[in-house]
Structure 1
């Protein structure tokens, strides 16, 4: 994959307004101190005021600004808050404190199978997921054949999604999310379940969106090599704390030294 970063800088300079402004964002979850085996047990303890929680901070005071045309990788060990941050950016979660401002349309690929009904066919799920992304029925009608062709699932389009592999589901999710040209594309490990041929195809599509249309990309992958190949900048989050933000080669090198 080859992204023309000089062209991206020129496009960014043409628009001064940043695409994403994350200002002092923290995210806390309440976690039960003991494991409960049933909903009944949960309510009994709750009624008796025997249920106690501890606060878990998934993100701590994260601040970062993403400019138009930026191609950002987000790295960190498991449980460090990468997916939580992407869900806040996508509007799925509301931060406990701080703000996250988005300028433009966003296409999120943040959780495999999100926005799909496994009991419905792939054909029906194209319309369901497309509508959740804000596509009109007319647009989906017009784009349906190209979505199916890109996903390479034409022979199975009327099969219930519950019979699909995770890789086939990822194909459909990616094809739907990139059927239009989003201002911001958010990809969270969605390519890791696909075969290498489809990963290459997805990277070429990302390259087209970034180079030809100026799409801003946020990309999470446990493959450091893939982050270095796809991205120009990187954000390293470790245990909810931002450790480093800068050029992708410098950030990835520092992250490798941790491992």
Structure 2
């Protein structure tokens, strides 16, 4: 009885992160709309002179479902009466970092697009990895949630992380090109092949870590597929083939991982 008041007082600041998360989730939508209306050259799709492996312009429409999933989950997670408040509190902190990072990325893209965007994206990746780790640690508790909020969480995390895994590598290529590195010729193709190899390897490792989380695999595959189409439209068959090989590898790793998971004793997997 003596400890109860201090527990209630300590829970307040932690629970407040869910409110912060909701505000920042809404901020993603607002900043995205403002960027489309008033953004500069760096945030426009299909810019001339960009590296061939940059996904085709319509690929970036994936941000719309990502933003909506973030808002929907944040709205659900806000009330105290929802299940497992301690899990929701632990998720709210890294997700707030990610959501804030997204809006910051759009701002940095206007004022310091060369390497500033890479740094912000790296912070977002760290936040996503932390949030994914928390969700995987608490998958037994999350498995007891109703289907809709459970789906919101896993699809939000999976799509956000899957697309970001590929996008951060492509963003690195764009930054290197912005610093004066070639995007064509032997050096340019070799550098982009290394980037595709890094993106593919990262995606494959995360597929294994997340036990074949389907939303993650689909979003990472979307990134590789649209990078393949971008390279093909730029007249770079070698890069298009490498991106296609990466897509095939991630697809195969996902299939094997999910088959292994199904062969084990049934459990609360995402």
The alignment's TM-score, normalised by the length of structure 2, stands at 0.28
Larger proportion of helix: 2
The alignment's TM-score, normalised by the length of structure 1, stands at 0.29
